[in-house]
Structure 1
Amino acid sequence: MPMSDVRAYRLARVQAQLRKAGCPAILLYDPVNIRYATDTSNMQIWTGRNPSRYVMVFADGRVIGWEFHGCEHVWDGLCLDVELRDAISWTFFNAGPDVERRAKRWSAEIVDVLTVHAPNELRLAVDRLDSFGASCLIESGVTLLDGQAMMELARSIKSPGELVLMQASIRACEKGIERMHGELRPGITEQDLWAHLHYENIRHGGEWIETRLLSSGDRTNPWMHECSARALQHGELLAFDTDMVGPNGYCADISRTWTVGHVRPTDEQRKLYGAAYSQIHFNMGLLRPGMTFREFSEKAWKIPDMYLKNRYSCIAHGIGMVDEYPAVAHQIDWESSGYDGQFERGMALCVESYIGSEGGAQGVKLEQQVVLIESGCVPLASCEFETDWL
């Protein structure tokens, strides 16, 4: 599928959400949402922290882009019905003591655009906006709707062309994983090893990595230690989670666990690995379109009591340009953090496992990226598991 078809598909998904909500337009600040709707990218990490470019997409497909100073060229080559304007940045960093005046000028322009393009319909979806900006729009008579929910739902079903782009990112990620595998030896630091993934991502046209989740030895339990200058020791476990935003802005989210030196694991290491492997493969076997999130949670692999305290934060989550809707809670967490919905064909998901006992000396992290088809799910990632440990 040509890139133009992918862009048209994504924009149409956004339009469909607007029409469903009876909302004439959505204002986007989240760089990932802007990328999804327009395929433009400009300093995504920086603009994620410094809201200085924004886009309004109308239900009829028109786009107004307020671009960062001197950066109109990032829109070159796109077949979009777009009007470009200069962004008004009113954060304290950009405006200093002039924040209030600039914010009111920003709000007046947003209201004017909305009035011209959608007269008598001052309803606007917004994905991200601080309280001062929201209050300026509300004081001007604008009714604000939850734009982030609309964008998450729009992004949740992948076109065949999107899956091609996602697999290109996964292939780049697997090059990084292969490089890490080859460099994994006693004495190398966690950070030195992690740098190989970054190298392959950038070399293949990727963008950034959202976390630094690589740990070794006793830092593998509990999970969520970020990589450090610690030197790896012979025979201990090494675990990582890529969270890699690669070429074309799509995420490759893969976790694997190895032994340092690629030596035969101990009986305890094999036991941990076997449990993690069983969890993700049992749960992959359950997944199918039409199943509800709650049913999946209820039927999911039962985590043994000794590992329950340190369980991963969810059983599975959506994946696209980044981690996306849905996040499926464990049954034990359902009352506090679960929500229902239904799996659909075309959803890309990551099936998760972390196995490590409370107070234990080590743990295993595994994660597989899949796509839902009519008969169930199929893996998108091809990098191998340590099946000879089982």
Structure 2
Amino acid sequence: MAGHHLSDVSSAVEPDNKEAILRDVRAYRLARVQEQLVKHQCAAILLYDPVNIRYATDSSNMQVWSGRNPARYVMVFANGRIIAWEFHSSDHVWDGLGHDVELRHPISWTFFNAGPEVERRAEAWGAEIVDVFRKHAPGERLLAVDRLDPLGTAYLEKHGITLLDGQALMEPARLIKSAGELVLMGESLRTAEKGIERMRRELRPGITENDLWANLHYENIRHGGEWIETRLLASGDRTNPWMHECSSRVLQKGDLLAFDTDMVGPNGYCSDISRTWLVGDGKPSDEQRKLYDLAYSQVHCNMDLLQPGMTFREFSEKAWKIPDQYVKNRYCCLAHGIGMVDEYPSIAHQVDWESAGYDGRFEVGMTVCVESYIGADGGTQGVKLEQQVVLTEHGCVSLTDCSFETDWL
């Protein structure tokens, strides 16, 4: 199934128009959050993480900025009630979403906003949160919170609220994608592919890494995308080890050029694709071909292995074995979930299982990125590949047609 693509499974579920998709997706995602609240016997969840807010409500307001500055927050109740504390003069971001939402003015108690008044404002914030929670969930004590600074935690607990880890609810809620979500993710992926195609056209000796990377940003913003989480593009000896972010280095003929998109595109869904190319019109060296062949084998063998019902531990145990000289520089995980950003689960290599592994089970509807980095310890170049897939009843299906360098194999 690794050679199959989303087009093979999505044609029967394509909705007629974008608004219909969005209505269905909003209802589906809110219901997923409510299901987790009911499962954990939790009356409500308080959300600060902008990606969690987007998932639960589809409202978005300066996501990167609000990820650093907790100036908007939302409480979702198990019965579906939504109360939102929206940033200054921004109530309009809720227009057209179809929610019966109660909008309030937020109290920001970061030092940037409150200075020496942090403690006083935190108490005012806490008093309102307790009041709202008790008003709409009388007699309840359990409130999930995805992100909260110490002063807020202390206030709520002091006033009889028992806190639950909200991320432990939101990650499972976000795990299984609906047919509509796959359509929205597909729109993001097509945008990423346009950016990758533009990068490929502009790839030549003499251009800098930064100049090349700008082409992905250009196509993302041009098509309504949002941001890119990293700057993972490297060339030449900066491809080993991996995790060099792009720089002013000038590309040279014969260099390997590797990148990881990490792109939050249209609709707030992430496109996470890694490819490695050769700079210039020449042919790859024998070493470059070997590195590429190994990385390609790792990704595609693991895609063929991936099946619903398989446990994370079983996948890790059966995964393609990295040759010894490449183990030290291995990628940080074998595979990870993907949705609006990188999501649960993260599947550890067998060598890392004791320190970083945890078990679970792959399910139909999960979207996953299968990873590889191959670069020898002490080597001067490496290959990074990654493929975004969805799990169906029949196995792993690619979500992108972005090509590999199969003529190198």
Determine if the TM-score, normalized by the shorter chain, exceeds 0.5: yes
Give me the whole-angstrom Cα distance separating, in 2, the residues matched to 1:58 and 1:82.
11
Structure 1 contact 14–37 (Cα < 8 Å) conserved: yes
Deviations along 1:314-355, whole A, 9 cap, x unmatched? 000000000000000000000000000000000000000000
1:259-304: per-residue Cα shift (whole Å, max 9, x none)?
0014310000000000000000000001111000000000000000
In structure 2, give the amino acid aligned to 1:282: C
Shift of 1:81: 2.0
Aligned with 1:291 (options 310, 314, 317)? 310
2:76 aligned counterpart, secondary structure: strand
- Contact conserved, 1:238 with 1:260, CA < 8 A, in 2? yes
The residue that corresponds to 1:208 in the other structure is 227
Q: Equivalences for 1:349-360 in 2 at 5 Å?
A: 349-360=368-379
* 1:221-240 → structure 2 map (5 Å cutoff): 221-240=240-259
Deviation of 1:185 (Å): 0.2
Q: Hey, what's the Cα distance between the residues in 1 that align with 2:378 and 2:247?
A: 21
Distance 1:167 1:238 in 2: 25
Give SS of 1:256's match: strand
Structure 2 residue 343 is matched with structure 1 residue 330: no
Map of 2:178 onto structure 1? 159
Report the CA distance between 1:133 and its aligned residue: 1.1
| Identity among equivalent pairs (%) | 76
Aligned residue in 2 for 1:261: 280
**Match for residue 236 of structure 2?**
217
Say if 2:98 is the partner of 1:79: yes
Aligned to 1:61: 80
Q: Which residue of 1 aligns with 2:193?
A: 174
Aligned-partner Cα distance in 2 for 1:254–1:240: 8
String of CA shifts for 1:170-227, please: whole Å, max 9, x gaps. 0000000000000000000000000000000000000000000000000000000000
Which gives a bigger RCO, structure 1 or 2 (Cα 8 Å, sep 6+)?
Answer: 2
Residue 44 of structure 2 is aligned to residue 25 of structure 1:
yes
Which of 128, 132, 145 is equivalent to 1:113? Answer: 132
AA at the equivalent of 1:81: D
C-alpha contact 1:61 1:81 (8 A) present in aligned 2:
no
Q: CA RMSD in A?
A: 0.5
* In structure 2, C-alpha distance between the alignment counterparts of 1:81 and 1:127, rounded to whole Å: 22
Aligned residue for 2:23, secondary structure, equals helix
- Structure 2 match to 1:281: 300
- 2:266 maps to a residue whose letter is P
Moved over 4 A (4+): none
Residues 103 and 133 in structure 1, CA contact (< 8 A), matched pair in contact too? yes
- The answer to whether the 8 A contact 1:245-1:322 is kept is yes
> Structure 1: how far apart are the matches of 2:84 and 2:281?
51
Give unpaired runs (5+ residues) of structure 1: none
Q: Which ranges in structure 2 are unaligned for 5 or more consecutive residues? A: 1-14
Aligned to 1:388: 407
How far has the Cα of 1:250 moved from its partner? 0.1
Distance change (3 Å), C-alpha of 1:209 and 1:357: same
Q: Which residue of 2 aligns with 1:369?
A: 388
Q: Give me the whole-angstrom Cα distance separating, in 2, the residues matched to 1:388 and 1:223.
A: 24
Count of matched residue positions in the alignment of Structure 1 and Structure 2 = 390
Greater mean alpha carbon deviation, residues 9-18 or residues 257-266: 257-266
**1:140 paired to 2:159:** yes
